[in-house]
Amino acid sequence: MGRSRSHIGISQKASSQVASLGNNIAIQIAAGSSLKAVYKHYHKEGTLTLQHFIIFFGAFELFLSQLPDIHSLRWVNALCTFSTIGFAGTTIGVTLYNGKNMDRKSVSYSVQGSSSLKRFKAFNALGAIAFSFGDAMLPEIQNTVKEPAKKNLYKGVSAAYTVIILTYWQLAFCGYWAFGSEVQPYILASLTVPEWTIVMANLFAVIQISGCYQIYCRPTYAYFENNMLRSKTASYFPLKNCLIRLVCTSIYIVLITLIAAAMPFFGDFVSICGAIGFTPLDFVFPAIAYLKSGRIPKNMELRISVQLLNLAIATWFSVVAVLGCIGAVRFIVEDIKTYKFFHDL
């Protein structure tokens, strides 16, 4: 029992790191796209590329990463909360406005391509759907809840799912209604008018995801700090501690920035992150952990039903993770064939 729990813990940590890296790559691409859109609105003949803005955003996140912990980012989190509401409300409104002003007969909801391409698109979509649940299982949530942990954790996750359904899912439905199967993975790229509201939505997006980036990278920072900073002599050399933090955070952000700039395929990274990062964290590991916890009902019929249900959930979503990963990898390979590295999308 102890060995199996240890394996679950190792697998969960690995998935958390994959989710963290994949999510922040997607975030950096999205931030760069939004910053470029704002720049192009004011400088239509400007020469700066998407890669420039990805680097600018990475530099800003490197600055925020020097703050000691997630609690020192309270002012950033407050701005992010406001910006999340602003982004969702603005983007949903502009999407509906664009949809109503389009020729509805020109909008197609059918999936284009061969039967094999349609299957890969379906696989890819599974990963994207799983990604939408990611914000409800933030890696830091176990470290920040107060006693009673179970009650607060339940409230936190319930609130997160409610916000996701009322904002991002509504935006997804509105985007599909407005643009059909031609909707862009990053919805703001599909919007055309009015321009000033699109600029506002892009600014809201950048502010919002700047805080999300920090939430997802902090567990990785914490791992390095636990192993490198918390020695017996750590408190006597604060300058050394700051230097180590600067080196560790720089390596992390340079890696994320390099990948995002070289392969700025937002939708593909969303799918692969959802498939191999969030699907195990959100659905597979909780079901397996419950089966291993020994808290299954003693009533035999109920016990068997609960075991079968959790086993079915773990099995089904393991399949979803594999299929989503296959679809995402396939489209990343196709995009690499179509575009050169560091292509300005």
DSSP H helices in 183-265: 195-228, 238-262
Whether 109 is in a domain gets the answer no
pLDDT tens for the chain, 345 residues long, are: 555 555 555 666 666 777 778 888 889 999 999 999 999 999 988 899 999 999 999 999 999 998 877 777 888 878 888 898 899 899 999 999 999 998 888 899 888 888 888 888 888 888 887 777 665 555 444 444 455 656 666 776 777 777 778 887 888 899 999 999 888 888 898 998 889 999 999 999 999 899 889 888 887 887 777 776 655 455 556 677 788 888 889 999 999 999 999 988 888 888 888 888 778 877 888 888 888 877 777 778 888 888 899 899 999 888 888 888 888 888 888 888 888 888 887
**Sign (positive/negative) of CA torsion 157, 162, 163, 168?**
positive
Of 22, 57, 249, nearest in space to 131 by CA: 22
Q: Residue 32 in contact with residue 51, Cβ under 8 Å? A: yes
Whether 345 is in a domain gets the answer no
Of 128, 143, 127, nearest in space to 215 by CA: 143
Helix then strand then coil, % of the chain, to nearest 5: 80, 0, 20
Whether 343 is in a domain gets the answer no
The predicted pLDDT at position 139 comes to: 42
Q: Residue 136 in contact with residue 282, Cβ under 8 Å? A: yes
Q: Residue 263 in contact with residue 335, Cβ under 8 Å? A: yes
The predicted pLDDT at position 145 comes to: 47
Spell out the residues 6+ positions from residue 131 whose beta carbon is closer than 8 angstroms to its own: 23, 26, 270, 271, 273, 274, 278
**What's the pTM?**
0.82
Residue-range definition of the domain harbouring residue 91: 2-104+114-338
Whether 317 is in a domain gets the answer yes
Q: What 3-state class would DSSP assign to 195?
A: helix
Of 160, 341, 339, 142, nearest in space to 259 by CA: 341
Whether 289 is in a domain gets the answer yes
State the total domains in the chain: 1
Query: CA 92, 94, 95: angle at the middle one, nearest 5?
Result: 60
Query: CA 124, 268, 159: angle at the middle one, nearest 5?
Result: 80
Instruction: Tell me the DSSP string of 253-320.
Output: HHHHHHHHHH---HHHHHHHHIIIIIHIIIIIHHHHHHHHHT---SSHHHHHHHHHHHHHHHHHHHHH
Q: Residue 219 in contact with residue 139, Cβ under 8 Å? A: yes
Of 35, 81, 39, nearest in space to 58 by CA: 35
Write the DSSP symbol of residue 112.
Answer: P
Whether 12 is in a domain gets the answer yes
Whether 89 is in a domain gets the answer yes
Whether 344 is in a domain gets the answer no
